[in-house]
Amino acid sequence: MGKYTAGEFLSQIEFPRDLRDKFEVEQLPQVADELRQYIVDVISEIGNSHFGASLGVVELTVALHYVFNTPDDQLVWDVGHQAYGHKILTGRRSQFHTNRIKGGISGFPKRSESEYDTFGVGHSSTSISGALGMAIANDYQKIDKQHIAVIGDGSMTAGLAFEGLNHGGSTDTNLLVVLNDNCMSIDPNVGALREYLTDITTSHTYNKVKDEVWGLLGKISKFGPNAQAIASKISNSLKGSLLNDSNYFESLNFRYFGPIDGHDTIGLVKIMQDLKDIPGPKILHVLTTKGKGYKPAEEGNATQWHAPGVFNKETGEIVKVIPSSPQPPKFQEVFGHSIVELAEKNEKIMGVTPAMPSGCSLNIMMKAMPNRAFDVGIAEQHAVTVSAGMATQGLVPFCNIYSSFMQRAYDQVIHDVALQNLNVVFCLDRGGLVGADGATHHGAYDLAYMRSIPNMVVASPMNESELRNLMFTAQLKDQGPFSIRYPRGKGVMAKWKTPFKELKVGSGRKLKTGEDIAFLTIGPIGNKTTEAIDELEKNGLSVAHYDMRFVKPLDEMLLHEVFSKFDKVITVEDGCLMGGMGSAILEFMADHSYSAKVVRLGIPDKFIHHGTQDELYHECFYDKDAMIKSAEELMKGNVLKASSMVG
């Protein structure tokens, strides 16, 4: 268990049955206090974790596991940022200090990790549909279980959440949706639904009658066989009295209850015990505060405290390492500053992001040009199609979406943008292996899935200057769909603000001449290749290095040069091998009847779990050492299959 000590009550809880068997309702607030303190103690020291969201649902987590018979009753957390308390109460307290560390527990609920993690999550807005599917399956099999989806107000903005509600309301399944309303996703929540929920929570009409309603609900269990009729009358009364406040959820045939205090553990338990006896789809609206109970997080910048890193738990001071020399910026920061520079020169440029303005640095443009940059909420499909709409009117939208989240809008990319050949510039942040977020967040597939789409240009910069040049090139004239992907983290140029330069679409570049073997790379992983080449040349090899820059269209003149000269080639990409840049090179080689020994290095055909980026590059066999070994073996005539080197 390491050096972390649980409190008097928490130390007695290994699994939720201990919580239910050993403690009275009146003792639950202390359990919640100890659980919150344990989260603070551990996360303040290990860093590398989400924080504020889990503190905000501590009381809710305790109440859910106390009232419902988990894991038989099935609890689904949306996204999973808020599931740390859940993990601690479900057999993983002794492992919690390994959270998001390679070989340790995942930062998100994961079915293979625990039977209490009923549905694997990581992307938003899946909980309602997942829990509804479970409920339908158990109804069909005549299995009596409760099904609970816990979803934040930010996740409610996605179309998938509406689709789940719309279907759920047409069933009579035993489904409870708990709406955790803290007015935040990672950045502050936006949109009409946020305003609607705010109206509900501030409604004088509702607050005037809610105490009477809950007083009556608290007596439901005393009515025996008439409980269902009583509940129906209450629901109808609530709907009739508060039509303007509750019509959204009521119109979807969900009985709406709330809003209630999400930090009143005893009150939550009593309400949930009553709701267990009310059949059909229900929604419980709870109000919480992100970072609740830890003053610096509660009162500070909620976005900063979403994942603060290591911090002093006594003072709330976030530990920052001050480098001794100027450091390269993060790629996202280069994007954020560069789009403002470009927009100052080109009035047609617009910015769009789905709920990640801080994460992708579009917030810089939103501050400088608020009428030209838009956070559309957690709605990736809408982000793509609204960008397409802008492009039809002659604008040049830069649509910035994390690579793994762009997967959710793939049809819109094909149908609404590429089919119409619209000049939407997709800036795919977090391309490649992202590290501790693990399999749900790795940007493994975008090179492959984007290059398969007609009209699409697919590019990746090796450094910050190249990112600026690609952004500049994408907005010069009507280029059609243009995808630029870059990784999480820093680049290599401390002096990154270079003059903009137009690049010929489909042009690569020869970085180094050589005679024995050639490396073909795409994106920033090429910088590690440069390091590997330096080592190889110390050992007497003559190595050429080509930065392909574009996966589509390929620089065919450059490839003719490569295969006319070299019969030993290694491709390196921070993306999936299936259908990626290496595959494109093999296709070219076959189409032009070249013969060479080619080794492809990249992400193998498997899901990669969490760890640091360097640890994962090593695991997937495309770190510097893997490049060196591949080249040395290839010179001996051995073609290493990267997949065979991956554990």
**Greater confidence, 302 or 555?**
555
**Best CA proximity match to 283, nearest among 248, 241, 312, 319:** 248
Mean pLDDT along residues 29-51: 92
* Rounded Cα gap, residues 317 and 320, in angstroms: 9
406-455 per-position pLDDT tens digit: 999 999 999 999 999 999 999 999 999 999 999 999 999 999 999 999 99
Q: The sheet that has 543-547: what strands, in order across it? A: 509-512, 543-547, 517-521, 568-576, 597-603
Q: Do domains 10-296 and 331-485 have the same CATH topology?
A: yes
**374, β-bridge pairs:** 352
**pLDDT given for residue 194 in this prediction:** 64
The CATH architecture of the domain made up of 331-485 is: 3-Layer(aba) Sandwich (3.40)
- How confident is the model over 281-290, as pLDDT tens digits? 999 999 999 8
- Give the sheet arrangement for strand 175-181, strand by strand: 74-77, 147-152, 175-181, 282-287, 255-261
Annotated active-site residue in 290, 485, 528, 624: 290
Of residues 231, 245, 210, 311, the one with CA closest to residue 278: 231
Confidence class for position 468, pLDDT limits 50, 70, 90: very high
Q: Which CATH architecture has domain 10-296?
A: 3-Layer(aba) Sandwich (3.40)
Comparing C-alpha atoms, which of 165, 188, 161 is closest to residue 175?
Answer: 165
**pLDDT above 80: residue 579:** yes
pLDDT over 90 (residue 508): yes
Tens-digit pLDDT profile for residues 81-92? 899 999 999 999
Annotated catalytic residue within 34, 59, 250, 380: 380
282 is catalytic: no
CATH topology classification for 509-645: Rossmann fold (3.40.50)
How confident is the model at residue 170, as a pLDDT? 95
**pLDDT on residue 297:** 87
549 is catalytic: no
In the residue annotation, 233 being an active-site residue is answered as no
**pLDDT score for 301:** 80
Task: Report pLDDT for 240.
Answer: 42
pLDDT at 238: 43
Q: Provide the mean pLDDT of the chain.
A: 90
Q: What is the pLDDT of residue 258?
A: 85
In this model, does residue 207 exceed pLDDT 50? no
The per-residue pLDDT for 187 is 63
**Domains of the chain, residue spans:** 10-296, 331-485, 509-645
Residue 47's pLDDT is 86
Catalytic pick among 110, 372, 408, 552 = 408
Contacts of 286 (CB under 8 A, 6+ apart): 60, 178, 179, 180, 181, 258, 259, 260, 261, 262, 268
